Structure 1
Amino acid sequence: MMGGSERLRVADAPRWNPVDSLAPEAWKPWLRLGRYDRPIGSWLLMWPCWWSAALAAHAAGRTEQLPWHLLLFFVGAFVMRAAGSIWNDILDRKIDARVERTKLRPLASGQISVKAALAFAIAHSLLGLLILVQFNAFAIALGCLSLVPVAAYPLMKRFFSMPQAVFGLCFAWGALMGWAAVFGSLSAAPVLMYWGAYCWCIGYDTVYGHQDQRDDAIIGVRSTSRTFGRYSRAIIAGLYGGAVLLVGLALWQGGASWPGYAGLAAFAAHLAQQVVRLDPEDPPLCLRLFRSNRDAGCLLFLGLAADLVI
């Protein structure tokens, strides 16, 4: 028989994760609220930051700041993803309670009050601000600007047929931040990388959304998974293709050499196999393919890191 904590494990959390397996019982609802049991979103938020920071270091011809920037972006991705997820769960708690995959989230199941969750989100946001002010003034202003789509995104699924179009604005933002942290400005390279990451984000979140399309249809929640329908595989392929093309143009503008393009080729191959394997009627497979984007992002970063070394 499962214990109380096991019964409250969120459905899409990995079978083994440090929160459910190791954390004190009193901490578990809070860590689940911040998605620390499901860190995939933090990795996906982080990779565009790291791509951009590595390309900027290459373009600037200096790497002494890069380790510090990578550390800040790593911590910042986890902190701000938690803050954004808590805000999302506050607004979506009634919807989440009606969806099989999300009904055990701490707010939807009543484990944590709305006021307490809001305080937890504010604490994460303040920590995120502390990280942000380590950068230059331009990067600080740019980071603050990202709060606009972050605040708007959870509301989009109520009336907009493609809320992932707003989600992509949030999760691709790091492609601007890495460059801004080095140069204190933007140029063609980070803008191209941003739109490439944007296409990637919409593609993988559509894969993710196929887990919920039946529940979403019943309760009237909108998503690209429902909007694209039987054309979903072809559209995801187009989005992934656009991501590879735009990131490739960003590498060209940033002066990358062959290791960077090798990383891009590995990234492209990973996305291609996702499209080939995708079955929108197989929710567990959709979740596995979505999570595998952590590895896709890593492949591109490794190529950019090798470019710096060589």
Structure 2
Amino acid sequence: MNQFILFIELTRLKKPIGYMLLFWPCAWGLTLIYDFSQNLNNYLFYLLLFFLGSVLMRSAGCIINDILDRKFDSQVSRTKNRPIASKKISVSRGLIYAAFLCGLAFLVLINFNYFTILAALASMPLAFTYPLMKRYTYWPQLFLGITFNYGLILGWTSITESINIIPIIFYLGAIFWTLGYDTIYGYQDIKDDEIIGLKSTSIKFKGTAKTFLIICYSILISLLVIGGYLMDFNFLYFLFLIIPAAQLFLFQIKCFDLNNTSTCLKIFKSNNYLGLIIFINILIGKIF
């Protein structure tokens, strides 16, 4: 039982924000391309597959992240008690768990077409090298955005086995979304990160954080508008974009305080609701 509890802690399964932020872009991409005049069974089935894949890959990613960062995690107050950093779980056991989760994720993946399978496998090097980026660049959040939102492309290709400019525009918007919310998240550890020499956009833009967030979220909303125009969405889609824009600018940016770690965490977690709001927005654009 103790090992099971440690496994849950290691994979962050009790913290759904991680896998939900991985899932929402998948749902966006699938919804953008799906023909809702057809039977909904395939749509719901693929939505379930993407959810399961998000949970499994996020869990495996957490383990790899903790293995690569174990020496740094042990020096950061928020992460020093993680199972691998505190040596409650060995590196070898962690690798076994990660391999098992990746195996389950592959069983989910093979339900898709060959194009999507190959595209997903091609993203694996990015997914497992992301934790190394904060050692070398102030832009690890950019690499996270590229990796974390890749599911939007997979959601699109799962139906059409091809790609065009539309999913790329939404994908770029999602990358700037991640740049924003993960910069906010990074302010929880900024003091420790500066001491041990890690890099992030949180550190790079410490003096101009709100300006950086305004730029990121403005680009996100702009690309959602452009993408909606290219999709020939109805007026309601553009009208209801006011809701995510308000959440971003009137809540996230207005309430943001880089010196208040609890507020930063609260704002970061609110992005789960933002992902849902944009998902509903895309549904409105497609159906009505």
Question: Normalised by the shorter chain, which TM-score bucket?
Answer: over 0.9
1:52 is paired with a residue whose SS is helix
Q: Which string of whole-angstrom CA distances, capped at 9 and with x for unpartnered residues, describes residues 237-291 of structure 1? A: 1101111111222222223223433443311211112011100000000000000
TM value normalised by structure 2: 0.95
1:101 is paired with a residue whose SS is coil
- Cα distance, 1:107–1:262 mapped onto 2, change above 3 Å: farther
Q: Say if 2:288 is the partner of 1:305.
A: no
Q: Distance in 2 between matches of 1:172 and 1:264?
A: 20
Counterparts of 1:161-240 in structure 2, within 5 Å, are 161-240=138-217
Structure 1 contact 263–299 (Cα < 8 Å) conserved: no
Q: Which segment drifts farther, 253-262 or 237-246?
A: 253-262
Partner residue in 1 for 2:256: 278
How far apart are residue 175 of structure 1 and its match? 1.4
Q: Which string of whole-angstrom CA distances, capped at 9 and with x for unpartnered residues, describes residues 40-95 of structure 1? A: 1101011111111111115x754532111111111111111111111111100110
Partner residue in 2 for 1:257: 234
Q: Distance in 2 between matches of 1:163 and 1:193?
A: 20
Runs of 5+ consecutive residues of structure 2 not aligned to the other structure: none
Counterparts of 1:1-310 in structure 2, within 5 Å, are 24-58=1-35, 62=38, 64=40, 65-272=42-249, 273-310=251-288
Structure 1 contact 263–304 (Cα < 8 Å) conserved: no
Q: Distance in 1 between matches of 2:237 and 2:61?
A: 31
Q: Which segment drifts farther, 252-261 or 129-138?
A: 252-261
Q: Distance in 1 between matches of 2:24 and 2:239?
A: 17
Structure 1 contact 55–304 (Cα < 8 Å) conserved: yes
How far apart are residue 163 of structure 1 and its match? 1.0
1:135 is paired with a residue whose SS is coil
- Cα distance, 1:68–1:100 mapped onto 2, change above 3 Å: same
- Cα distance, 1:263–1:139 mapped onto 2, change above 3 Å: farther
User: How many correspondences in the alignment?
Assistant: 286
Q: Which string of whole-angstrom CA distances, capped at 9 and with x for unpartnered residues, describes residues 125-164 of structure 1? A: 1111111111111111111111121122111111111111
How far apart are residue 177 of structure 1 and its match? 1.0
How far apart are residue 196 of structure 1 and its match? 0.4
Q: Distance in 1 between matches of 2:126 and 2:223?
A: 22
Structure 1 contact 55–256 (Cα < 8 Å) conserved: no
Partner residue in 2 for 1:5: none
Percent of matched pairs sharing the same residue: 36
2:69 is paired with a residue whose SS is helix
Q: Distance in 1 between matches of 2:155 and 2:128?
A: 22
**Paired residue type of 2:228:** L
Q: Distance in 1 between matches of 2:217 and 2:198?
A: 24
**Paired residue type of 1:34:** T
Q: Distance in 2 between matches of 1:32 and 1:141?
A: 31
Q: Distance in 1 between matches of 2:236 and 2:12?
A: 34
Q: Distance in 2 between matches of 1:127 and 1:264?
A: 36
**Paired residue type of 2:151:** G
Q: Distance in 2 between matches of 1:177 and 1:258?
A: 27
Runs of 5+ consecutive residues of structure 1 not aligned to the other structure: 1-23
Alignment RMSD (CA, Å): 1.4
Q: Distance in 2 between matches of 1:127 and 1:171?
A: 19
Q: Distance in 2 between matches of 1:61 and 1:264?
A: 24
- Cα distance, 1:263–1:297 mapped onto 2, change above 3 Å: farther
TM value normalised by structure 1: 0.89
